[in-house]
Structure 1
Amino acid sequence: MHILFRVDSSFAIGTGHVMRCLTLARMLKDAGCAVYFAMRAGLGDLCDEVERNGFPVFRLVYNGSVIQEVDAQWTIDVVRRFLPSVDWCIVDHYELDHRWEENVRAYVGRVMVIDDLANRPHQCDLLLDQNYYRQAKQRYHSLVPPGCRLLLGPQYMLLRPEFYEAKQFVSLRGGEVQRILLFFGGSDPTNETEKALRAFRELDVVDVEVDVVVGKANLNRFRVEQLCREMDFRYHCQIDYIAELMAKADFSLGAGGASMWERCFLGLPSAVTIVAENQRRSTEDAAAYGAVWNIGWHRDVKSSHYADIIDKVIALPEQLKSMSRKALELAGSAKGYIVHPVVEALLEG
């Protein structure tokens, strides 16, 4: 089976789309599929990273915003000129919708969409939204064609093997804070990491270890590294052991999106800053469930807010225990699969 991913990353849109597609790509490769990526080249792209993971990348180069007709034709050219066939085209891209999908699907077997906005119609055979929402099923009503299979909720989370391995060693947190993790995504375009680091400078926190994680797409990573050196915090850049750090931490400051669900999966209590519009609804619903604290929209969050949160969590062990339990209830039921249900759905056709 031949699979083509159409996905992008940049300093502006972050790295999350590509990273979750890479996770699914590895699973498909392990299942015997031939996997390819079609990606736009530019500042902050992860084309080289995808190739380092063993997947061929077809690069699209053009300036300006995404034009669906141009993008669709380029993707079609890739399929016709370079690939023997494409059984599934998997698209993970907020700027592409049913118009792009209708054009491309005439040249591929089937189309799968990875989405979490539920704000535009799709022309697809399979749709994955791995986030928790209180009204998940209603969100895509009238946005997908009849017969489209919907895979909705944290039970379909695309987790790397390291998370299943780390899950074996985690349990309900006890509420005592000895180790804190800071991770606001691979690119952290709103520079929450530095805000949070400055919050620690305002506090007199003793006997607490801090791990700070950034990606290579973080434009502020060198300044963050310098701050970590000055504050004697552990600095980690573009790592493949984030699950290990999450498992060891007692509390985390982070963004919404995929990393929020990874923290919940490992029962790690966290305070979440909404750094992109697509994170708003799922963060609000997870907070209403009691699995996270919702700090709010990034523009409204200052270093003083992070300082208040850090102060509070150290003084509220019972609340942290409750949050850890709720996080595990919400996302911790996902387990290691012989064949992941998303892969199973793709292989079934």
Structure 2
Amino acid sequence: MNIIIRADASPGIGTGHVMRCLTLAEELRQRGANVHFLCRAHPGHMGEVISARGFALTLLPAPVMPFDADDYATWLGAPARDDARQIIEALQGMEVAWLIVDHYAIDQHWEQLLRPHTAKILVIDDLANRYHDCDLLLDQTYGRCEEQYRPLVPEHAVLLLGSQYALLRAEFARWRAYSLKRRTSGEFRHLLVTMGGVDAANHTSLVLTALRGCELPPDLKITVILGHGSPHVGEVRRHAASLPWQTEVRCGVDNMAELMAGSDLCIGAAGSTTWERCCLGVPSVVYGSAANQQEILAQLGEHGALLEVRSMESLYTVLMGAVARRESLSQRARALCDQLGGSRVADHLVPVPCERQDVVLRRVQWSDARQLYEWQIHPQTRRHSRNSAPPTWQEHCEWLRARLRNPSSFMYLIEQSGLPVGTVRIDLVDSCQDLYETSISLDPCYYGQGLAQQALVAINRAFAQLSLLAHIKPENAASVKLFSRCGYRQTDETHYLREARHDK
């Protein structure tokens, strides 16, 4: 399966669009997709980063129009029709399953030109300010609602809205448990400052200047993070050297999750890094200068997930407020965003592969309702269910609608050579422990063929950072054997646990 990503980076555009697309690309590659990036050769285009991650890359010609931060049309670097033509030329001879677009300069006119050259289109957006011709739209902004996008997309388009769909690198999943556990400490010993990958406006220097006049613990350690392409490294280092606390400036780090997890508080920029801090429960003071960030920060502030700094003059007051409220800020932040956004999005694009090439796990859709119902009411299924009474068709439909709307429910159809043979799902039980319950049901015609084990092993691999719980009746010897073989250990008479794996 070929998947194309159109996204750009530059000092003016920032690195966030390409970075979140790289995160999604990693998830898709793990599922067997071939991912190819198409990026314009802006200064700081991040092509070397994309290539270093092992993805195919086509660089479009250098920009032919000047960049204007206030005019999104200039961010494309070329007239939209010319950009579309260049993309079409790059796609010649390629069968494209999905075209992923993450660009503020692209709207339905560009997308309509590409329609004949791809099976489906996914748009990643944050603005909700223009029309799109897409099949799937992702906006990971907290508080986004369907009413904001429904008039802007085709009737058939599926909307993935809210911070539960935030695209976070796998390293944040690996460090989440450690980070959340250490939030119970009352110490304030490590302050992290990270104002964006490029920080073209040099907000980092403004923060360090403001910190100089603050009364902070004498043994405080400050870590300052800048991206590879930051143009102000020298000035930032000079400001850091003048501070009375141990201060380290690091550029182009590859362990951001570890640094966040090890910090007690963060002064940061708005944007996609907000969701990284939320996932790890890092108490944060956030400064957002872009107009499209103000509403988001206000909503997150009202929720109690962060404290907003509106001017550097107020930084000390806000920072001390955050120190006093660290535990509360952490709890509110972690509730907004877990580590599963990439899986939720990828489920709409590519199935989860199993060890056997003829078996995959495909996301359940409403069109599967009748098939699922036939399995649900089968006597063999009811015999091993908690509730032995079969549901009515209406009850089943209501249950399925609720599952499909719930981002904390992952429900898959087990397919063998394209034919449905069963279903497996995991549902959130305890968000504080990232504990999910596993349920599996197989068409009795396919018992004894190892398909249930294929599905459970695939779930174990796809959700390694979660703890998975299974409820099994003692008389269901086949399921006891199956789950035990797949790494579940018995915890009481009816429950079996597969513990999370947090490899760093």
Structure 1 CA distance, aligned partners of 2:336 and 2:58?
Answer: 38
Structure 2 CA distance, aligned partners of 1:285 and 1:336?
Answer: 22
Return the match for 1:238 from 252, 267, 270: 252
State the shift of 1:251 in Å: 1.0
Structure 2 CA distance, aligned partners of 1:180 and 1:217?
Answer: 23
State the shift of 1:200 in Å: 2.0
State the shift of 1:151 in Å: 1.1
Return the match for 2:347 from 336, 344, 347: 344
Return 194-203 or 121-130, whichever deviates more.
194-203
* 1:253 alignment partner in structure 2: 267
* 2:285 alignment partner in structure 1: 271
State the shift of 1:305 in Å: 2.5
Q: Structure 2: which amino acid aligns with 1:96?
A: I
* 1:146 alignment partner in structure 2: 155
Return the match for 2:333 from 320, 327, 334: 327
* 2:207 alignment partner in structure 1: 196
Alignment length, in residue pairs?
335
State the shift of 1:280 in Å: 2.2
CA contact (8 A) 1:184 1:254 kept: yes
The C-alpha deviation readout for 1:246-286, integer Å capped at 9, x for no partner, is 11111111111111111111111111111322322222111
Structure 1 CA distance, aligned partners of 2:64 and 2:314?
Answer: 38
* 1:113 alignment partner in structure 2: 123
State the shift of 1:325 in Å: 1.2
Structure 2 CA distance, aligned partners of 1:150 and 1:19?
Answer: 21
For residues 219 and 335 of structure 1, do their structure 2 counterparts lie closer, same or farther at Cα, with a shift above 3 Å needed?
closer
The C-alpha deviation readout for 1:27-48, integer Å capped at 9, x for no partner, is 1111111111110102121111
CA contact (8 A) 1:110 1:125 kept: yes
Q: Which fold has the larger relative contact order, with Cα–Cα distance below 8 Å and residues 6 or more apart in sequence?
A: 1
Q: Which runs of 5+ in 1 are unaligned?
A: none
CA contact (8 A) 1:173 1:267 kept: no
State the shift of 1:323 in Å: 1.1
State the shift of 1:175 in Å: 4.8
State the shift of 1:336 in Å: 4.9
CA contact (8 A) 1:196 1:307 kept: no
Identical columns (%):
36
Normalised by the size of structure 1, how large is the TM-score?
A: 0.91
Structure 1 CA distance, aligned partners of 2:81 and 2:287?
Answer: 35
Structure 2 CA distance, aligned partners of 1:347 and 1:329?
Answer: 27
SS at the partner of 2:151? coil
* 2:233 alignment partner in structure 1: 221
CA contact (8 A) 2:33 2:350 kept: no
* 1:56 alignment partner in structure 2: 56
SS at the partner of 2:152? coil
Q: Structure 1: which amino acid aligns with 2:345?
A: V
State the shift of 1:294 in Å: 1.6
SS at the partner of 1:262? helix
Structure 2 CA distance, aligned partners of 1:276 and 1:94?
Answer: 14
Structure 2 CA distance, aligned partners of 1:141 and 1:35?
Answer: 28
Where does structure 1 differ by over 6 angstroms across 4 or more consecutive aligned residues? none
* 1:292 alignment partner in structure 2: 306
State the shift of 1:165 in Å: 0.7
State the shift of 1:55 in Å: 1.3
Residues 299-310 of structure 1 mapped to structure 2, 5 A cutoff:
301-302=311-312, 304-310=313-319
* 2:393 alignment partner in structure 1: none
Structure 2 residue 176 is the aligned partner of structure 1 residue 167: yes
The C-alpha deviation readout for 1:327-349, integer Å capped at 9, x for no partner, is 11222xx2458x81211101269
The C-alpha deviation readout for 1:52-79, integer Å capped at 9, x for no partner, is 1111211112321232111111111111
Q: Which runs of 5+ in 2 are unaligned?
A: 66-73, 352-361, 363-504
Q: Structure 1: which amino acid aligns with 2:100?
A: I
Structure 2 CA distance, aligned partners of 1:177 and 1:308?
Answer: 16
CA contact (8 A) 1:92 1:114 kept: yes
Structure 1 CA distance, aligned partners of 2:343 and 2:284?
Answer: 27
Q: Structure 2: which amino acid aligns with 1:125?
A: D
Structure 1 CA distance, aligned partners of 2:220 and 2:348?
Answer: 44
Structure 2 CA distance, aligned partners of 1:137 and 1:280?
Answer: 20
* 1:185 alignment partner in structure 2: 196
Return the match for 1:280 from 291, 294, 303: 294
State the shift of 1:230 in Å: 4.3
SS at the partner of 2:253? coil
The C-alpha deviation readout for 1:309-328, integer Å capped at 9, x for no partner, is 334444xx2x2221111111
Normalised by the size of structure 2, how large is the TM-score?
A: 0.64
* 1:42 alignment partner in structure 2: 42
Q: Structure 1: which amino acid aligns with 2:350?
A: L
Q: Structure 1: which amino acid aligns with 2:248?
A: R
For residues 286 and 310 of structure 1, do their structure 2 counterparts lie closer, same or farther at Cα, with a shift above 3 Å needed?
closer
SS at the partner of 1:223? helix
Structure 2 CA distance, aligned partners of 1:285 and 1:175?
Answer: 27
* 2:87 alignment partner in structure 1: 75
Structure 1 CA distance, aligned partners of 2:47 and 2:57?
Answer: 7
SS at the partner of 1:188? coil
Structure 1 CA distance, aligned partners of 2:106 and 2:339?
Answer: 31
Q: Structure 1: which amino acid aligns with 2:16?
A: G
